[in-house]
Structure 1
Amino acid sequence: MKRTVVVGAGLGGMSVVYELREKLPKDHEVMLIGESNEFHFIPSNPWVALGERTRDQVILDLTPYVQKYKIPFNGTGVSHIDSATQQLTTGDGQQFNYDYLVLCTGPRLAFETVPGAGPEHGFTQSICTVNHAVKAFETYQQLLKNPGPVLVGALQGASCFGPAYEYVLTLESLLRKQKIRDRIPITFVTSEPYIGHMGLGGVGDSKALMEHEFRDRGIKWVCNARVKAFEDGIAHVEELNRKGEVDFSHDLPFHLAMFLPSFKGSEAIAAVPDLCNPKGFVITNEFQQSPQHPAIFAAGVCVALPPLEQTPVPVGVPKTGFMIESMTTAIVENILSLEKGEAMKTRPTLNAICLADMGDKGAAFVALPQNPPRNVNWTSMGKWVHVAKVAFEKYFMYKVKHGTSEPIYEKYVLGAVGIHRTKE
């Protein structure tokens, strides 16, 4: 009996495991390994951090669903991979051989790169995990009782910016509803060279759109920001010029600070010889396959993608849901080709679509392909984006519950964007 093991039970892992189970023969085992028994809908974390969702509303216990679809499941993670023997060891000490290994492990959060960063051993909050978001909500409640300055942003080396924009704009909207916005100065501190860059070199007129939104809402910003350290209530920030020289030094006070960190690869994955780049991200070819380990494929945040351009402060490339979905579909088709004794031929599209909620409205960013020059380079704003993101949340939770391999982004999200592009 052959076995394909999928590591990671997030958006990418759940998409690929269901599609593999649907398309591979029944005597080919498809196994799933996660870090726990829970599926977390990560895009909803900004809502959890601001009390718009509870933890229970954005998680699912995977156990009944994987059992229903006859997918062996281990929720203790992976501690070791022996690529030479094609065997892995799970966190509980079990060993499993594999014919194909699909890595959808997401990132390791590298808070240690900035002293004082992080919710566990530092002074800042995070929305990268649902448990971090729950803790961030506690800090938000304290802010409502004791108003003061707020800092939001992304640290040097970060490759995920959309959630920071969602968080700061939704926070600002909620503070206005609470009628205490006038008592809470907000500053956006980002490694991006300009507002709306998002690691993509901007999308459409995102720079002007986001600067206008920040000005309209009274949000100040610091770009090309390199955070030196956080202390209790103080952020020490260097603002660089285009030459990479320190232009200004800022000591910014805060009652609440939420910063997205840089990412690194999972330690067990990074330890596999010749699999990853120095940051622990999996190197893949055009078919999402490791060039040095042909039995290993990878999709999502754990994949190595080069930065779009050199910037004064390092900025990584985001991997959005639409891109991840195209990666997982390519992996499934390429494994099917290999099983038939055929050459691989399916390449991911690597398009980017981001739906960013802003509390009272939202912004949609569409980059097809992700890196310029593009066939589609479009940004729009309106209440419809909030509705589309809520619908996406519901559709994906449905997908996990019902074991469907239906491409959510291609069918629903891109469809919603297309309708509004036509209206414009």
Structure 2
Amino acid sequence: MTRQDWNRDPAADTQVVVLMGGLGTRLGLTDRPKAMADINGRPFFDYELMLLKRWGFWRFLFLVGHQADQIEEYYGDGSGQGLEIRYSRDGRTQLGTGGALKKAEAMLDEHFILLYGDSFMDMDYRELVYRSRLEREAGKAGVMAVLKNEGRYDTSNVIFRDGTLFLYDKAERSADMQYIDYGVSMLSKEVLAGIEPGKPCDLSEVLTALSKAGKLAGQEVCKRFYEIGSPASRDEFAAYAKQRFCRANRALFLDRDGVINEFCFHEETEQLDSPFTKEEFRYREDVISTLKAVSDMGYLLFIVTNQPAAAKGKVSLKALYDLNTWMARDLQEKGIRVEASSLCPHHPAGDRRTQAPFLIRRCGCRKPKAGLITDILKIYNIDMEHSWMAGDSYTDVLAGKRAGLKTALLGEYKCDVCHRLEGNRPDRVLKDIRELEGILREDT
């Protein structure tokens, strides 16, 4: 099965491997495997699959064991959903996560995403694929997504500082471990070399050895994960899923540079541009108070931003992603929950100086195209009649219009903006973000 869609990111062709062998003993499941637990009338894994499809992934390998027939009967070969799904069975002996992966070795790509079928993990999967490309050049064999946990959701098991993963160890914990394995990694097939075929093995042991050898990188994520290891955690996720997927939520989509933060003067180019480090990042006046007020009104907050600097060779892609993560975490610490901060790192022309030539391409996510917004709409139930896109450029207005949102232009309505809007007038023209709060109150 092959695909060719010039609007789709090539990262979508990455193989996704899913560990689906959970028994569900603590849930009292006897008639179905854990990944098939009923959540609001749907199998649990349907929700995670929705996220993965949002990123365009279509090639799946399910590692199945307990009551595998139910999983295969429900999902089939995936063709009904435009997917390709293959299966690898444990057989009569439970092989553990590492053993199951080793058994499927012949079916694995050289590089693949690995995740658990009994967890819900909402993260930027394209960032994981892109980071993995860069880290492989630095000699890493894998990238593990990690969350600053501080003991909240389970026992922390990762030492991660300043963007570097120093240790992952579930067996021997230490006070330095403030982060936790998120449940998603991108691995190279070479990590299986030390696993004996047909023998039970826990993958965590392999990943611990990788981290100690300095061959495991980390990607920080900011949104919590959900798992269904107990009736309480199952009920917690069911309540979350009902609010997110069943109830229509009002949302505010915001551009970043010039709206959330100030532009930055770069000495080397003698130009105003996006900030590339947290030291250069400055919030615009009244942004924090406005976002808090809008969030208190019940609006979901999304940031959607073009960030082509890495494609143009001005900065590394890692620096762009690190700043994006820092901003999301900083807003979180200021009491503002951002559902997603999505960036488009592509540019159609780019520059020969880029360290990441795979970013030079035409895409469906660069505003004024609507992909950054419409991809989010696939995984949230949004009240389109009362949701807005706000930005300081004609690209924001056009992207919002194309996605079906109301639009607000922040700043002066200049003639060049009028021309580029091609007759698509914004619903409101506002002086600055302070006026946005009042407009949203009128719309509630």
Larger Rg over CA atoms: 2
Higher relative contact order (CA 8 A, sep 6+): 1
Calculate the TM-score normalised by the size of structure 1.
0.28
